[in-house]
Structure 1
Amino acid sequence: MSFKTIVAIIQSKDDAERVLDCALPLAARYDSHLIGVHAEALPVAYTSAVGFPDTEFLQTTAELNKERADALQAMFRGRLRGAGLSFEWRSLESFSGDSAHSGISSARCADLVIAAQRNPHAESTATADVDALLFESGRPVLIVPHAGPAHDGSFRRVLLAWNGSREAARAAFDALPLMLEAEHTEVFVIDPPEDVEQDAEASGAEIATALSRHGVNVSVVAESSRGRSVDHILQARIAGTDTDLLVLGAYSHSWLRQLLFGGITRTVLQSMPVATFMSR
Protein backbone atom coordinates (compact mmCIF):
# COMPACT_ATOMS: atom_id res chain seq x y z
CA MET A 1 0.00 0.00 0.00
CA SER A 2 1.10 3.57 -0.66
CA PHE A 3 -0.50 7.00 -0.61
CA LYS A 4 -1.53 7.55 -4.23
CA THR A 5 -3.96 10.39 -3.52
CA ILE A 6 -3.03 13.02 -0.94
CA VAL A 7 -5.26 15.92 0.09
CA ALA A 8 -3.55 18.98 1.55
CA ILE A 9 -5.88 21.19 3.60
CA ILE A 10 -4.79 24.80 3.18
CA GLN A 11 -6.72 27.22 5.31
CA SER A 12 -4.53 30.34 5.15
CA LYS A 13 -1.04 31.64 4.43
CA ASP A 14 -0.23 30.87 8.09
CA ASP A 15 -0.35 27.10 7.53
CA ALA A 16 0.10 26.75 3.76
CA GLU A 17 3.89 26.54 3.62
CA ARG A 18 4.10 24.18 6.60
CA VAL A 19 1.54 21.78 5.12
CA LEU A 20 3.18 21.80 1.69
CA ASP A 21 6.68 21.36 3.12
CA CYS A 22 5.44 17.97 4.32
CA ALA A 23 3.01 17.11 1.51
CA LEU A 24 5.27 17.68 -1.49
CA PRO A 25 8.09 15.29 -0.48
CA LEU A 26 5.53 12.61 0.43
CA ALA A 27 3.78 13.04 -2.91
CA ALA A 28 7.12 12.80 -4.71
CA ARG A 29 8.14 9.60 -2.87
CA TYR A 30 4.83 7.84 -3.51
CA ASP A 31 4.19 9.28 -6.97
CA SER A 32 0.92 10.67 -5.61
CA HIS A 33 -1.73 12.94 -7.01
CA LEU A 34 -1.75 15.97 -4.71
CA ILE A 35 -4.99 17.92 -4.20
CA GLY A 36 -4.89 21.33 -2.53
CA VAL A 37 -8.17 22.27 -0.85
CA HIS A 38 -9.09 25.75 0.33
CA ALA A 39 -12.44 27.24 1.32
CA GLU A 40 -13.67 30.79 1.76
CA ALA A 41 -16.74 31.89 3.69
CA LEU A 42 -19.81 32.92 1.75
CA PRO A 43 -20.46 36.65 2.30
CA VAL A 44 -23.16 37.33 4.90
CA ALA A 45 -25.93 39.61 3.63
CA TYR A 46 -25.97 42.51 6.11
CA THR A 47 -28.77 45.03 5.70
CA SER A 48 -28.38 48.74 5.25
CA ALA A 49 -30.04 51.39 7.42
CA VAL A 50 -33.10 51.39 5.16
CA GLY A 51 -33.52 47.62 5.38
CA PHE A 52 -32.07 46.50 2.05
CA PRO A 53 -29.09 44.15 1.63
CA ASP A 54 -25.79 46.02 1.73
CA THR A 55 -24.66 45.10 -1.80
CA GLU A 56 -21.47 47.13 -1.53
CA PHE A 57 -20.40 45.15 1.55
CA LEU A 58 -21.24 41.87 -0.18
CA GLN A 59 -19.23 42.82 -3.24
CA THR A 60 -16.23 43.98 -1.17
CA THR A 61 -16.27 40.79 0.90
CA ALA A 62 -16.53 38.59 -2.19
CA GLU A 63 -13.58 40.41 -3.78
CA LEU A 64 -11.44 39.99 -0.66
CA ASN A 65 -12.30 36.29 -0.48
CA LYS A 66 -11.38 35.81 -4.13
CA GLU A 67 -8.14 37.69 -3.65
CA ARG A 68 -7.19 35.42 -0.72
CA ALA A 69 -8.10 32.26 -2.59
CA ASP A 70 -6.24 33.35 -5.72
CA ALA A 71 -3.11 34.16 -3.70
CA LEU A 72 -3.14 30.73 -2.05
CA GLN A 73 -3.76 29.03 -5.38
CA ALA A 74 -0.82 30.90 -6.90
CA MET A 75 1.41 29.87 -4.01
CA PHE A 76 0.28 26.22 -4.34
CA ARG A 77 0.85 26.13 -8.08
CA GLY A 78 4.18 27.91 -7.66
CA ARG A 79 5.38 25.23 -5.24
CA LEU A 80 4.24 22.44 -7.61
CA ARG A 81 5.59 24.02 -10.78
CA GLY A 82 8.52 22.00 -12.03
CA ALA A 83 8.07 19.31 -9.36
CA GLY A 84 6.89 16.76 -11.89
CA LEU A 85 3.88 15.85 -9.76
CA SER A 86 0.25 15.29 -10.65
CA PHE A 87 -1.83 17.90 -8.84
CA GLU A 88 -4.99 19.96 -8.77
CA TRP A 89 -6.42 22.88 -6.80
CA ARG A 90 -9.95 23.00 -5.41
CA SER A 91 -11.32 26.39 -4.37
CA LEU A 92 -14.54 26.04 -2.39
CA GLU A 93 -17.08 28.21 -0.61
CA SER A 94 -19.10 27.44 2.50
CA PHE A 95 -20.89 29.26 5.28
CA SER A 96 -18.10 28.49 7.75
CA GLY A 97 -15.18 29.12 5.39
CA ASP A 98 -13.39 26.23 7.08
CA SER A 99 -11.27 24.27 4.61
CA ALA A 100 -11.38 21.10 6.74
CA HIS A 101 -15.19 21.00 6.84
CA SER A 102 -15.45 21.87 3.16
CA GLY A 103 -12.76 19.36 2.23
CA ILE A 104 -14.37 16.31 3.84
CA SER A 105 -15.81 15.01 0.57
CA SER A 106 -12.38 15.33 -1.09
CA ALA A 107 -10.72 13.69 1.91
CA ARG A 108 -13.02 10.65 1.75
CA CYS A 109 -11.58 9.76 -1.65
CA ALA A 110 -7.93 10.14 -0.59
CA ASP A 111 -5.35 7.77 0.87
CA LEU A 112 -3.99 10.44 3.20
CA VAL A 113 -5.00 13.91 4.38
CA ILE A 114 -2.42 16.43 5.59
CA ALA A 115 -3.42 19.42 7.71
CA ALA A 116 -1.81 21.84 10.12
CA GLN A 117 -2.34 21.66 13.85
CA ARG A 118 -4.53 24.46 15.15
CA ASN A 119 -2.42 27.41 16.26
CA PRO A 120 -3.93 28.76 19.50
CA HIS A 121 -2.31 32.15 18.90
CA ALA A 122 -3.63 32.62 15.36
CA GLU A 123 -6.93 34.19 14.35
CA SER A 124 -9.81 31.72 14.53
CA THR A 125 -10.21 31.80 10.73
CA ALA A 126 -6.50 31.15 10.07
CA THR A 127 -6.48 27.45 11.01
CA ALA A 128 -8.80 24.64 9.95
CA ASP A 129 -10.93 22.46 12.20
CA VAL A 130 -8.90 19.24 12.05
CA ASP A 131 -11.43 17.53 14.37
CA ALA A 132 -13.87 17.44 11.46
CA LEU A 133 -11.39 15.58 9.27
CA LEU A 134 -10.63 13.01 11.96
CA PHE A 135 -14.20 12.23 12.88
CA GLU A 136 -16.04 12.69 9.58
CA SER A 137 -13.72 11.82 6.68
CA GLY A 138 -13.00 8.17 7.53
CA ARG A 139 -9.44 8.64 6.28
CA PRO A 140 -6.07 8.92 8.08
CA VAL A 141 -4.89 12.43 8.83
CA LEU A 142 -1.27 13.54 9.19
CA ILE A 143 -1.20 16.57 11.47
CA VAL A 144 1.77 18.91 11.10
CA PRO A 145 2.73 20.87 14.25
CA HIS A 146 2.09 24.61 14.15
CA ALA A 147 5.44 25.36 15.82
CA GLY A 148 9.01 24.13 15.50
CA PRO A 149 11.00 23.35 12.36
CA ALA A 150 9.15 22.45 9.17
CA HIS A 151 8.99 18.75 8.40
CA ASP A 152 9.92 17.26 5.03
CA GLY A 153 7.77 14.13 5.41
CA SER A 154 10.67 11.80 6.22
CA PHE A 155 10.24 10.08 9.58
CA ARG A 156 13.21 8.34 11.17
CA ARG A 157 11.73 7.24 14.50
CA VAL A 158 8.05 6.35 14.90
CA LEU A 159 6.17 5.84 18.15
CA LEU A 160 2.95 3.83 17.92
CA ALA A 161 0.73 4.46 20.97
CA TRP A 162 -0.92 1.10 21.49
CA ASN A 163 -3.79 -0.08 23.72
CA GLY A 164 -5.27 -2.90 21.64
CA SER A 165 -8.27 -0.86 20.47
CA ARG A 166 -9.93 -0.76 17.06
CA GLU A 167 -8.76 2.81 16.52
CA ALA A 168 -5.15 1.99 17.40
CA ALA A 169 -5.18 -0.99 15.01
CA ARG A 170 -6.57 1.15 12.20
CA ALA A 171 -3.89 3.79 12.75
CA ALA A 172 -1.10 1.20 12.86
CA PHE A 173 -1.92 -0.36 9.51
CA ASP A 174 -2.82 2.95 7.84
CA ALA A 175 0.65 4.25 8.80
CA LEU A 176 2.45 1.13 7.59
CA PRO A 177 4.11 2.83 4.55
CA LEU A 178 5.73 5.39 6.86
CA MET A 179 6.82 2.72 9.35
CA LEU A 180 8.47 0.71 6.59
CA GLU A 181 10.59 3.73 5.67
CA ALA A 182 11.51 4.56 9.28
CA GLU A 183 14.72 3.41 10.93
CA HIS A 184 12.77 2.17 13.93
CA THR A 185 9.19 1.92 15.22
CA GLU A 186 8.42 1.60 18.90
CA VAL A 187 5.14 0.10 20.06
CA PHE A 188 4.54 2.01 23.28
CA VAL A 189 2.09 0.56 25.80
CA ILE A 190 0.91 2.42 28.90
CA ASP A 191 -0.21 0.26 31.84
CA PRO A 192 0.07 -3.11 30.05
CA PRO A 193 -1.97 -6.09 31.30
CA GLU A 194 -0.37 -8.06 34.10
CA ASP A 195 -0.59 -11.36 32.22
CA VAL A 196 1.07 -10.64 28.87
CA GLU A 197 0.63 -14.19 27.59
CA GLN A 198 -3.14 -14.06 28.09
CA ASP A 199 -3.52 -10.57 26.63
CA ALA A 200 -0.81 -10.27 23.98
CA GLU A 201 -3.06 -8.01 21.91
CA ALA A 202 -3.24 -5.24 24.52
CA SER A 203 0.41 -5.74 25.53
CA GLY A 204 1.67 -4.81 22.06
CA ALA A 205 3.37 -8.14 21.38
CA GLU A 206 0.97 -9.26 18.68
CA ILE A 207 0.87 -5.97 16.75
CA ALA A 208 4.68 -5.80 16.86
CA THR A 209 4.89 -9.30 15.38
CA ALA A 210 2.37 -8.40 12.66
CA LEU A 211 4.30 -5.25 11.72
CA SER A 212 7.62 -7.10 11.68
CA ARG A 213 6.20 -9.55 9.11
CA HIS A 214 5.84 -6.57 6.77
CA GLY A 215 9.47 -5.66 7.35
CA VAL A 216 9.08 -2.95 10.00
CA ASN A 217 12.00 -2.67 12.44
CA VAL A 218 9.92 -2.72 15.62
CA SER A 219 10.25 -3.12 19.38
CA VAL A 220 7.80 -3.00 22.30
CA VAL A 221 8.17 -0.79 25.37
CA ALA A 222 5.73 -0.69 28.28
CA GLU A 223 5.44 1.90 31.03
CA SER A 224 3.28 2.32 34.12
CA SER A 225 1.37 5.58 34.36
CA ARG A 226 1.61 5.87 38.15
CA GLY A 227 -1.15 8.45 38.17
CA ARG A 228 0.23 10.53 35.30
CA SER A 229 -1.90 11.53 32.33
CA VAL A 230 -1.48 9.76 29.00
CA ASP A 231 -0.57 12.92 27.11
CA HIS A 232 2.20 13.79 29.58
CA ILE A 233 3.62 10.26 29.37
CA LEU A 234 3.57 10.32 25.57
CA GLN A 235 5.20 13.73 25.35
CA ALA A 236 7.94 12.64 27.75
CA ARG A 237 8.55 9.46 25.76
CA ILE A 238 8.66 11.39 22.49
CA ALA A 239 11.23 13.80 23.90
CA GLY A 240 13.31 11.00 25.41
CA THR A 241 13.49 8.90 22.25
CA ASP A 242 13.87 11.63 19.61
CA THR A 243 10.62 10.50 18.01
CA ASP A 244 9.56 12.51 14.96
CA LEU A 245 6.21 10.79 14.22
CA LEU A 246 3.49 9.73 16.64
CA VAL A 247 0.92 7.18 15.36
CA LEU A 248 -2.29 7.22 17.35
CA GLY A 249 -5.90 6.12 17.20
CA ALA A 250 -8.29 9.09 17.29
CA TYR A 251 -10.98 8.63 19.89
CA SER A 252 -14.56 9.83 19.77
CA HIS A 253 -15.91 12.46 22.10
CA SER A 254 -18.11 10.14 24.11
CA TRP A 255 -17.56 10.49 27.85
CA LEU A 256 -16.41 6.88 28.15
CA ARG A 257 -13.79 7.15 25.43
CA GLN A 258 -12.56 10.45 26.84
CA LEU A 259 -12.33 8.92 30.30
CA LEU A 260 -10.30 5.95 29.09
CA PHE A 261 -7.97 7.45 26.54
CA GLY A 262 -9.52 10.25 24.49
CA GLY A 263 -7.93 13.27 26.19
CA ILE A 264 -4.78 12.76 24.15
CA THR A 265 -6.73 13.52 20.97
CA ARG A 266 -7.24 17.09 22.16
CA THR A 267 -3.55 17.42 23.02
CA VAL A 268 -2.54 16.28 19.54
CA LEU A 269 -4.89 18.75 17.90
CA GLN A 270 -3.62 21.63 20.04
CA SER A 271 -0.05 21.16 21.22
CA MET A 272 1.69 17.86 20.32
CA PRO A 273 5.25 18.91 19.33
CA VAL A 274 5.78 16.31 16.56
CA ALA A 275 3.92 15.27 13.45
CA THR A 276 1.04 12.92 14.34
CA PHE A 277 -0.64 10.33 12.16
CA MET A 278 -4.21 9.61 13.32
CA SER A 279 -7.01 7.31 12.20
CA ARG A 280 -10.29 6.12 13.68
Structure 2
Amino acid sequence: MAYKSLLTVATSPNGLDPSVTAAAALAIHNDAHLDALALGIDRTQVGYSYVGSGAVIIAAAMDRAEEDARATEKGLNAAIAAQSPGLRYAVETAICQIGALIDVVASRARYADLVVLPRPYGKDIGIESEAVVEAALFNGMAPVLIVPDKGMPAPDPRNIVLAWNQSREALVAARRAMPFLKRADKVSIVVIDPPAHGPERSDPGGLLCQFLVRHGVRAEVTVLAKTMPRVSDVLARHLRDVDSDLLVMGAYGHSRLREAILGGATRDMLEAAEIPVFLAH
Protein backbone atom coordinates (compact mmCIF):
# COMPACT_ATOMS: atom_id res chain seq x y z
CA MET A 1 0.00 0.00 0.00
CA ALA A 2 1.18 3.51 -0.78
CA TYR A 3 0.16 6.72 0.95
CA LYS A 4 -1.95 8.45 -1.71
CA SER A 5 -4.37 10.41 0.45
CA LEU A 6 -2.96 12.43 3.35
CA LEU A 7 -4.77 14.51 5.95
CA THR A 8 -3.61 17.17 8.38
CA VAL A 9 -5.79 18.94 10.94
CA ALA A 10 -5.18 22.36 12.48
CA THR A 11 -6.99 23.62 15.58
CA SER A 12 -4.91 26.77 15.99
CA PRO A 13 -3.01 29.11 13.64
CA ASN A 14 0.12 28.71 15.79
CA GLY A 15 2.89 26.17 15.26
CA LEU A 16 1.61 24.83 11.93
CA ASP A 17 4.83 24.91 9.94
CA PRO A 18 6.45 21.61 11.13
CA SER A 19 3.41 19.39 10.53
CA VAL A 20 2.27 21.13 7.34
CA THR A 21 5.78 21.04 5.87
CA ALA A 22 6.11 17.34 6.70
CA ALA A 23 2.67 16.54 5.26
CA ALA A 24 3.42 18.50 2.07
CA ALA A 25 6.80 16.82 1.60
CA LEU A 26 5.24 13.38 2.07
CA ALA A 27 2.45 14.21 -0.37
CA ILE A 28 4.88 15.34 -3.06
CA HIS A 29 7.27 12.43 -2.45
CA ASN A 30 4.44 9.88 -2.70
CA ASP A 31 2.59 11.65 -5.53
CA ALA A 32 -0.32 11.99 -3.12
CA HIS A 33 -3.07 14.50 -2.37
CA LEU A 34 -3.10 16.48 0.87
CA ASP A 35 -6.37 17.42 2.55
CA ALA A 36 -6.07 20.09 5.24
CA LEU A 37 -8.82 20.74 7.78
CA ALA A 38 -8.97 24.02 9.72
CA LEU A 39 -11.15 23.72 12.82
CA GLY A 40 -12.79 26.38 14.95
CA ILE A 41 -13.87 24.79 18.22
CA ASP A 42 -16.47 25.89 20.73
CA ARG A 43 -14.87 24.78 23.99
CA THR A 44 -17.69 25.93 26.29
CA GLN A 45 -19.60 23.40 28.36
CA VAL A 46 -22.84 25.02 29.52
CA GLY A 47 -23.81 23.21 32.71
CA TYR A 48 -26.61 25.53 33.86
CA SER A 49 -27.69 29.11 33.22
CA TYR A 50 -30.49 31.55 33.87
CA VAL A 51 -33.57 31.31 31.67
CA GLY A 52 -32.84 32.73 28.24
CA SER A 53 -29.10 33.16 28.82
CA GLY A 54 -28.10 29.76 27.40
CA ALA A 55 -28.83 30.72 23.81
CA VAL A 56 -26.84 33.94 24.20
CA ILE A 57 -23.84 32.06 25.61
CA ILE A 58 -23.96 29.46 22.85
CA ALA A 59 -24.27 32.10 20.13
CA ALA A 60 -21.30 34.05 21.52
CA ALA A 61 -19.24 30.86 21.77
CA MET A 62 -20.00 29.89 18.18
CA ASP A 63 -19.05 33.39 17.03
CA ARG A 64 -15.67 32.94 18.72
CA ALA A 65 -15.34 29.54 17.11
CA GLU A 66 -15.97 31.08 13.69
CA GLU A 67 -13.30 33.69 14.32
CA ASP A 68 -10.87 30.98 15.42
CA ALA A 69 -11.70 28.94 12.31
CA ARG A 70 -10.97 31.89 10.02
CA ALA A 71 -7.68 32.61 11.80
CA THR A 72 -6.68 28.93 11.61
CA GLU A 73 -7.64 28.74 7.94
CA LYS A 74 -5.52 31.82 7.23
CA GLY A 75 -2.54 30.30 9.04
CA LEU A 76 -3.02 26.97 7.28
CA ASN A 77 -3.17 28.61 3.85
CA ALA A 78 -0.03 30.61 4.63
CA ALA A 79 1.84 27.46 5.70
CA ILE A 80 0.75 25.62 2.56
CA ALA A 81 1.63 28.56 0.32
CA ALA A 82 5.23 28.23 1.51
CA GLN A 83 5.45 24.67 0.16
CA SER A 84 6.40 23.41 -3.30
CA PRO A 85 4.08 24.67 -6.05
CA GLY A 86 3.62 21.10 -7.23
CA LEU A 87 1.61 20.18 -4.12
CA ARG A 88 -1.92 18.95 -4.77
CA TYR A 89 -4.10 19.98 -1.84
CA ALA A 90 -7.49 21.14 -0.64
CA VAL A 91 -8.31 23.22 2.46
CA GLU A 92 -11.61 22.79 4.29
CA THR A 93 -12.83 24.85 7.23
CA ALA A 94 -15.34 23.73 9.84
CA ILE A 95 -16.61 24.75 13.26
CA CYS A 96 -17.88 22.38 15.92
CA GLN A 97 -18.41 22.01 19.64
CA ILE A 98 -15.74 20.13 21.55
CA GLY A 99 -18.09 17.19 22.00
CA ALA A 100 -18.52 16.78 18.23
CA LEU A 101 -14.81 17.01 17.46
CA ILE A 102 -14.35 13.23 17.28
CA ASP A 103 -17.01 12.77 14.61
CA VAL A 104 -15.75 15.69 12.50
CA VAL A 105 -12.15 14.47 12.48
CA ALA A 106 -13.01 10.77 12.13
CA SER A 107 -15.21 11.37 9.10
CA ARG A 108 -12.17 12.78 7.26
CA ALA A 109 -9.55 10.41 8.69
CA ARG A 110 -11.44 7.30 7.54
CA TYR A 111 -10.58 8.13 3.95
CA ALA A 112 -6.94 9.04 4.51
CA ASP A 113 -4.01 6.65 4.18
CA LEU A 114 -2.04 8.68 6.71
CA VAL A 115 -2.90 11.54 9.08
CA VAL A 116 -0.05 13.97 9.82
CA LEU A 117 -0.42 15.94 13.06
CA PRO A 118 1.68 18.09 15.40
CA ARG A 119 2.71 16.87 18.85
CA PRO A 120 -0.44 16.92 21.03
CA TYR A 121 1.29 17.79 24.31
CA GLY A 122 3.29 20.80 25.38
CA LYS A 123 3.05 24.39 26.54
CA ASP A 124 -0.05 26.29 25.34
CA ILE A 125 -1.44 23.18 23.57
CA GLY A 126 -5.15 22.61 24.24
CA ILE A 127 -6.91 19.35 25.03
CA GLU A 128 -8.40 19.34 21.55
CA SER A 129 -5.01 18.39 20.07
CA GLU A 130 -5.03 15.09 21.95
CA ALA A 131 -8.67 14.56 20.97
CA VAL A 132 -7.78 14.99 17.28
CA VAL A 133 -5.05 12.33 17.51
CA GLU A 134 -7.33 9.87 19.28
CA ALA A 135 -10.22 10.54 16.88
CA ALA A 136 -8.02 9.75 13.89
CA LEU A 137 -6.60 6.60 15.50
CA PHE A 138 -9.68 5.08 17.12
CA ASN A 139 -12.70 6.41 15.21
CA GLY A 140 -11.00 7.15 11.90
CA MET A 141 -9.01 3.89 11.97
CA ALA A 142 -6.09 5.67 10.31
CA PRO A 143 -2.36 5.60 11.13
CA VAL A 144 -1.05 8.88 12.51
CA LEU A 145 2.36 10.46 12.05
CA ILE A 146 3.19 12.83 14.91
CA VAL A 147 5.67 15.52 13.89
CA PRO A 148 7.78 17.14 16.66
CA ASP A 149 8.40 20.86 16.94
CA LYS A 150 11.65 20.65 14.98
CA GLY A 151 9.89 18.98 12.06
CA MET A 152 10.65 15.98 9.87
CA PRO A 153 14.03 16.29 8.13
CA ALA A 154 13.14 14.11 5.11
CA PRO A 155 10.05 12.33 3.75
CA ASP A 156 11.99 9.05 3.64
CA PRO A 157 13.41 8.19 7.09
CA ARG A 158 16.53 6.05 6.64
CA ASN A 159 17.02 4.69 10.17
CA ILE A 160 13.76 3.45 11.72
CA VAL A 161 13.12 1.92 15.12
CA LEU A 162 10.07 -0.32 15.42
CA ALA A 163 8.95 -0.92 19.01
CA TRP A 164 7.78 -4.53 19.36
CA ASN A 165 5.92 -6.08 22.30
CA GLN A 166 3.94 -8.80 20.50
CA SER A 167 0.73 -6.77 20.82
CA ARG A 168 -2.00 -6.36 18.25
CA GLU A 169 -1.34 -2.61 18.16
CA ALA A 170 2.37 -3.08 17.42
CA LEU A 171 1.61 -5.50 14.58
CA VAL A 172 -0.93 -3.11 13.05
CA ALA A 173 1.64 -0.30 13.24
CA ALA A 174 4.25 -2.45 11.47
CA ARG A 175 1.83 -3.26 8.65
CA ARG A 176 0.62 0.33 8.25
CA ALA A 177 4.17 1.68 8.22
CA MET A 178 5.28 -0.68 5.45
CA PRO A 179 5.84 2.09 2.84
CA PHE A 180 8.31 3.74 5.23
CA LEU A 181 9.91 0.47 6.30
CA LYS A 182 10.54 -0.78 2.76
CA ARG A 183 12.40 2.39 1.77
CA ALA A 184 14.56 2.60 4.91
CA ASP A 185 18.24 1.68 4.95
CA LYS A 186 17.81 0.04 8.36
CA VAL A 187 14.86 -1.04 10.49
CA SER A 188 15.64 -2.06 14.06
CA ILE A 189 12.94 -4.13 15.76
CA VAL A 190 13.41 -3.22 19.42
CA VAL A 191 12.19 -5.62 22.10
CA ILE A 192 12.46 -4.38 25.68
CA ASP A 193 12.62 -6.95 28.48
CA PRO A 194 10.83 -9.77 26.60
CA PRO A 195 8.79 -12.16 28.79
CA ALA A 196 10.57 -15.36 29.74
CA HIS A 197 7.49 -17.50 29.15
CA GLY A 198 5.87 -15.88 26.11
CA PRO A 199 5.32 -17.38 22.66
CA GLU A 200 8.49 -15.64 21.39
CA ARG A 201 10.68 -16.51 24.40
CA SER A 202 13.29 -18.34 22.31
CA ASP A 203 13.44 -15.75 19.51
CA PRO A 204 12.00 -12.34 20.49
CA GLY A 205 10.92 -10.42 17.41
CA GLY A 206 12.10 -13.20 15.10
CA LEU A 207 8.77 -13.87 13.37
CA LEU A 208 8.15 -10.18 12.76
CA CYS A 209 11.68 -9.79 11.37
CA GLN A 210 11.10 -12.73 9.00
CA PHE A 211 7.79 -11.21 7.89
CA LEU A 212 9.38 -7.84 7.15
CA VAL A 213 12.43 -9.29 5.37
CA ARG A 214 10.12 -11.17 3.00
CA HIS A 215 8.70 -7.76 2.06
CA GLY A 216 12.18 -6.47 1.26
CA VAL A 217 12.69 -4.62 4.55
CA ARG A 218 16.27 -4.45 5.86
CA ALA A 219 15.30 -5.50 9.37
CA GLU A 220 17.18 -6.73 12.41
CA VAL A 221 16.24 -7.39 16.03
CA THR A 222 17.63 -5.58 19.07
CA VAL A 223 16.77 -6.84 22.56
CA LEU A 224 17.15 -4.35 25.42
CA ALA A 225 16.93 -4.79 29.17
CA LYS A 226 14.56 -2.58 31.13
CA THR A 227 17.28 -0.69 32.96
CA MET A 228 15.09 2.35 33.68
CA PRO A 229 11.75 2.65 35.48
CA ARG A 230 9.71 3.31 32.32
CA VAL A 231 9.80 1.49 29.00
CA SER A 232 9.50 4.86 27.27
CA ASP A 233 12.74 6.03 28.94
CA VAL A 234 14.65 2.98 27.68
CA LEU A 235 13.21 3.47 24.20
CA ALA A 236 13.96 7.20 24.12
CA ARG A 237 17.56 6.60 25.14
CA HIS A 238 17.96 3.95 22.44
CA LEU A 239 16.53 6.31 19.80
CA ARG A 240 19.21 8.85 20.69
CA ASP A 241 21.97 6.24 20.82
CA VAL A 242 21.29 4.95 17.29
CA ASP A 243 20.36 8.39 15.88
CA SER A 244 17.00 7.12 14.63
CA ASP A 245 14.84 9.41 12.49
CA LEU A 246 11.46 7.66 12.93
CA LEU A 247 9.80 5.60 15.66
CA VAL A 248 7.03 3.16 14.72
CA MET A 249 4.89 1.91 17.59
CA GLY A 250 1.44 0.62 18.48
CA ALA A 251 -0.73 3.23 20.18
CA TYR A 252 -2.59 2.93 23.45
CA GLY A 253 -2.16 -0.70 24.39
CA HIS A 254 -3.83 0.29 27.67
CA SER A 255 -7.10 2.21 27.82
CA ARG A 256 -6.92 5.91 27.05
CA LEU A 257 -8.33 6.70 30.51
CA ARG A 258 -5.58 4.70 32.19
CA GLU A 259 -2.91 6.40 30.07
CA ALA A 260 -4.38 9.82 30.85
CA ILE A 261 -4.35 9.18 34.61
CA LEU A 262 -1.38 6.88 35.16
CA GLY A 263 0.62 7.44 32.02
CA GLY A 264 1.73 4.90 29.46
CA ALA A 265 4.30 4.33 26.72
CA THR A 266 2.22 6.15 24.08
CA ARG A 267 1.63 9.29 26.10
CA ASP A 268 5.17 9.31 27.53
CA MET A 269 6.75 9.03 24.07
CA LEU A 270 4.57 11.76 22.58
CA GLU A 271 5.18 14.16 25.45
CA ALA A 272 8.95 13.94 24.93
CA ALA A 273 9.05 13.23 21.18
CA GLU A 274 12.24 14.48 19.54
CA ILE A 275 11.71 12.61 16.24
CA PRO A 276 8.55 11.79 14.24
CA VAL A 277 6.43 9.00 15.75
CA PHE A 278 4.27 6.74 13.58
CA LEU A 279 1.26 5.41 15.50
CA ALA A 280 -1.46 2.88 14.73
CA HIS A 281 -4.03 1.13 16.86
TM bin (shorter chain): 0.7 to 0.9
Contact 2:18 2:151 (C-alpha < 8 Å) held by counterparts: no
**Separation in 2, partners of 1:124, 1:170:** 28
Return the letter of the residue paired with 2:77. A
Return the letter of the residue paired with 1:267. D
**Separation in 2, partners of 1:59, 1:169:** 42
Return the letter of the residue paired with 1:95. Q
| Matching of residue 120 in structure 1 with residue 122 in structure 2 | yes
Match of 1:133 in 2: 136
Distance 1:153 1:15, change over 3 A: farther
Match of 2:148 in 1: 145
Match of 1:176 in 2: 178
Question: Which segment drifts farther, 160-169 or 45-54?
Answer: 45-54
Once the two structures are TM-superposed, the CA of residue 19 in structure 1 deviates from its matched residue by: 0.7
Once the two structures are TM-superposed, the CA of residue 61 in structure 1 deviates from its matched residue by: 2.7
Return the letter of the residue paired with 2:147. V
Match of 1:157 in 2: 159
**Separation in 1, partners of 2:202, 2:78:** 46
Alignment of 1:157-236 (within 5 A): 157-194=159-196, 199=200, 203-226=204-227, 228-236=229-237
Contact 1:45 1:53 (C-alpha < 8 Å) held by counterparts: no
TM-score, normalised with respect to structure 2: 0.83
Once the two structures are TM-superposed, the CA of residue 273 in structure 1 deviates from its matched residue by: 1.6
Once the two structures are TM-superposed, the CA of residue 118 in structure 1 deviates from its matched residue by: 1.9
Structure 2 unmatched runs, 5+: none
SS at match of 1:14: coil
**Separation in 2, partners of 1:140, 1:45:** 30
After superposition, give the CA deviation of every residue in 1:45-101 in whole Å (9 maximum; x if it has no partner): 999999583799568636623531441343255245x63233211211111299776
Percent identity over the alignment is: 28
**Separation in 1, partners of 2:56, 2:250:** 47
**Separation in 2, partners of 1:45, 1:165:** 37
Match of 1:105 in 2: 107
Structure 1 unmatched runs, 5+: none
Contact 1:163 1:202 (C-alpha < 8 Å) held by counterparts: no
TM-score, normalised with respect to structure 1: 0.83
**Separation in 1, partners of 2:219, 2:229:** 26
Contact 2:169 2:250 (C-alpha < 8 Å) held by counterparts: yes
Return the letter of the residue paired with 1:90. E
Contact 2:40 2:67 (C-alpha < 8 Å) held by counterparts: no
**Separation in 2, partners of 1:14, 1:126:** 14
Contact 2:7 2:34 (C-alpha < 8 Å) held by counterparts: yes
SS at match of 2:56: coil
Once the two structures are TM-superposed, the CA of residue 127 in structure 1 deviates from its matched residue by: 4.0
Contact 2:21 2:79 (C-alpha < 8 Å) held by counterparts: no
**Separation in 2, partners of 1:58, 1:235:** 41
Return the letter of the residue paired with 2:145. L
Once the two structures are TM-superposed, the CA of residue 268 in structure 1 deviates from its matched residue by: 2.6
Count of residue pairs brought into register by the alignment: 274
**Separation in 2, partners of 1:118, 1:7:** 16
